[in-house]
Amino acid sequence: MENLRDSIIDYMKVHGENEELFLRDLEQIVEREGDLVFPVLLNVFTQLDFNKTEAKEIWNGIIKRRLEMNEAMGRQVNLLTAICDYLLTVRKSFTHPKMVEMSVFENVEHISKCDSLTGLFNRGYFDEALIGEISRSKRYSTEFSVLFFDLDGFKSINDQAGHLAGDLVLKNIGRLIVNEKRAEDIAARYGGDEFIIILPETNKANTLIKAERIRQKIAELPLSLKDRNIHITVSGGIASYPMDSQDGSELVACADRAMYRSKSEGKNRICLYSHDKRRFVRIDFAGPVQVDLVRESIKPMHSNGKGKDISYSGVLFESRTPFEIGEQLKIHMPIPSNIQSMVLMGTVVRVEKFGDSYDIGVAFILFDGKNRKEIISYLKSRGAANPEVPL
């Protein structure tokens, strides 16, 4: 989003008073970026926030108004004049507007909302953006995810190599995040060695893929200071709206808890937040686990996974592709004691990346007496705990 804003401002500076050239180049940006351009464009001119549909309608109204004013006055009317007239007299979005030179405003705004070291947004701006994203997602019934990063062992870098080394790490990670995120993503430095990203209209599975790419690239950063090589890794956590929370502070706390789980499990990894607390018992399945993704009015997606663990209330298997938290699966499990596979229904409650595959945890939701008896019998033979005690 910020890159798009910068592009629009750059075009305005390049073309100066030649607004026809600016409008021509703007059409090319719209062809490339789509309707996402319009809310950014109007925010540059007015500092007002509109969704894509409203912004496109307003911009088209402004262009039409400018043509009408050109004809009525017999001369070219400045684009800013048309914007002010339209928003004051037609749309009535303005009440008491104040004029200020753009370069002055942009400089002051940049200082107020950005972290000077990393170039990312600061925490204050992030908090406001999160409120806005929740409001937008409620209005349009969409989801989004929050990705929380914390540097591993950053204090030791400061202590052993000095604060210049620490600053070098933070600057390079900030630059890497800017290069890896999408235009619509909002990335901020949340604390001393913490980074956080809002990913609009992105579910947990897709956020995990993006997070893994960033994590791997950070681990591969070639950093050095005064002939001293510096290696840094990050641990991350992901939480999604509205699944994990509909409150901004709690949503960040969920991502934070998932990040600390990454720390506790060995660092340099990404964990998804989940309310699930199950423990699993490791077993050897008799063959591959067949998985069907269950969705209404959609042809089931078939996938094979490698069985790993099972409990009285869920199963853990290895998959080459991720599933989304909350999705329902039909699972064909080849239990060694059975001639035929056991078929169960479950909900995905856990997704974790390990190497080139994913660990998928599923809680059973359809569990008939026969299948339950088979699993209890098998787990008892493996020395599992009392089945009446939830695992």
Q: Are the C-beta atoms of 342 and 332 separated by less than 8 Å?
A: yes
> Is residue 107 classed as helix, strand or coil in its secondary structure?
helix
The owner of tokens 């100066």 is 16
> pLDDT tens for residues 66-109?
999 999 988 888 888 888 888 888 888 777 666 555 555 555 55
The pLDDT of residue 170 is 94
Same fold, 115-272 and 281-381: no
Between the alpha carbon of residue 302 and those of residues 104, 237, 287, 323, 364, the distances in Å are 57, 28, 16, 12, 18
- Which pTM was predicted? 0.57
C-alpha to C-alpha distance for 247 and 202, rounded to whole angstroms:
17
Looking at residue 13, its pLDDT comes to: 74
Q: What is the pLDDT of residues 211-258, one digit of tens each?
A: 999 999 999 998 888 878 899 999 999 999 998 899 999 999 999 999
- Residue 294 has a pLDDT of 61
209 and 244 in contact (C-beta within 8 Å)?
Answer: no
Cβ neighbours of 137 (radius 10 Å): 17
Assess whether pLDDT exceeds 60 at residue 295.
no
16 neighbors 22 (Cβ within 8 angstroms)? no
Letter string b/e over residues 76-106, b meaning 16 or more CB atoms within 10 A of that residue's CB: ebebeebbbbbbeeebeebeeeeeeeeeeee
User: Quick one: CATH architecture of 115-272?
Assistant: 2-Layer Sandwich (3.30)
Q: Where are the domains of the chain?
A: 2-111, 115-272, 281-381
Q: Is 385 exposed, middle or buried (0-12, 13-18, 19+ CB in 10 A)?
A: middle
- For residue range 351-376, what is the model confidence (pLDDT) as tens digits? 877 777 888 888 766 555 555 566 55
Q: What is the mean pLDDT of residues 323-346?
A: 70
Give the SS3 label for residue 193.
coil
User: What was the pLDDT predicted at 103?
Assistant: 58
In this structure, which long-range contacts are made by residues 230-233, counting pairs with CB atoms below 8 Å and at least 24 apart in sequence? 230/157, 230/161, 230/165, 230/168, 230/169, 232/151, 232/152, 232/153, 232/154, 232/157, 232/169, 232/173, 233/151, 233/152, 233/153, 233/267, 233/268
CATH superfamily ID and name for 281-381: predicted glycosyltransferase like domains (2.40.10.220)
- The pLDDT score that the predictor gives to residue 365 is 61
Q: How many CB atoms lie within 10 A of CB 321?
A: 13
Identify the residue whose tokens are 């949340």: 190
Residue 123 has pLDDT above 70, yes or no: yes
299, 186 contact by CB (below 8 A): no
| 344: nearest Cα among 285, 291, 282 | 291
The pLDDT of residue 387: 42
Count of other CB atoms within 10 angstroms of residue 111: 10
pLDDT confidence band for 28 (50 / 70 / 90) = confident
Higher pLDDT, 114 or 198: 198
